[in-house]
Amino acid sequence: MRRYFFPLFIIAILIGTSCQPKVNVEKETIAIMAVLQEESEGLKAADKDRVFATHIKDSQETRLELGVYGYNVYYGWDNIESLLGDYLEGGPHMTQVNSKEDVILKITGNSAWLACNNVWRGSSEDGEDGFSNVQIVFLEKVKGEWKISFSAYYNKPQPIPGIMESFD
């Protein structure tokens, strides 16, 4: 009986791991990027319903904003809803186009994380304008839909003329 234990154990392990559902990374990547783009489009249009629909809206949702002078952490949907709601109440703020560049994405079952350059570009009477920051997002799949559960934004340092022309 002992000599059959190890082969049976290995077979059980193989059967158990082969029963795990396989993640269609390409399909999930498209769905995740659509959620991030929908949030951006909602922000651009100052549409609370569109922006809020992309979030998980629970007590553990978190937003971190890192800037030149420090950081702010917003913890729990009530605080994030208030932050976003106050911003959106002023109406449309952005006429730019948003793109996610240099995307790094990892999907593991019903959770995913993403890091990218979050780039806003537009034009005005003064010419081209825009800004870029680093965006980090954790997402959870709830009832078949990806939702944002954590987001962080890090403002890139501005170049100092004559010392550092660019950080890119």
Strand partners, 105: 114
pLDDT, tens digit, for every residue of 3-33? Answer: 665 565 666 666 655 555 677 999 999 999 9
Token pair recorded at residue 116? 């990218």
Torsion of CA 155, 163, 101, 61, to 10 degrees: -20
Residue 4: inside a domain? no
CA distances from 46 to 41, 52, 106, 121, 123 (A): 8, 11, 30, 17, 19
Residue 150: inside a domain? yes
pLDDT at residue 95, as a whole number? 67
pLDDT, tens digit, for every residue of 60-70? Answer: 999 998 866 78
pLDDT at residue 89, as a whole number? 86
Residue 13: inside a domain? no
pLDDT at residue 125, as a whole number? 67
pLDDT at residue 129, as a whole number? 77
Domain count, the chain: 1
pLDDT at residue 23, as a whole number? 77
Residues in the chain: 168
Report, as ranges of residue numbers, the positions in the chain whose pLDDT lies below 50: none
Task: Provide the pairing of β-strand 111-124 with 145-155.
Answer: unpaired
Q: What is the pTM of this model?
A: 0.77
What's the rounded Cα separation, in Å, for the pair 69 and 60? 25
pLDDT at residue 160, as a whole number? 64
CATH code where residue 27 lies: 3.10.450.50
Residue 160: inside a domain? no
Residue 18: inside a domain? no
Residue 74: inside a domain? yes
Range of 38's domain?
Answer: 23-155
Residue 89: inside a domain? yes
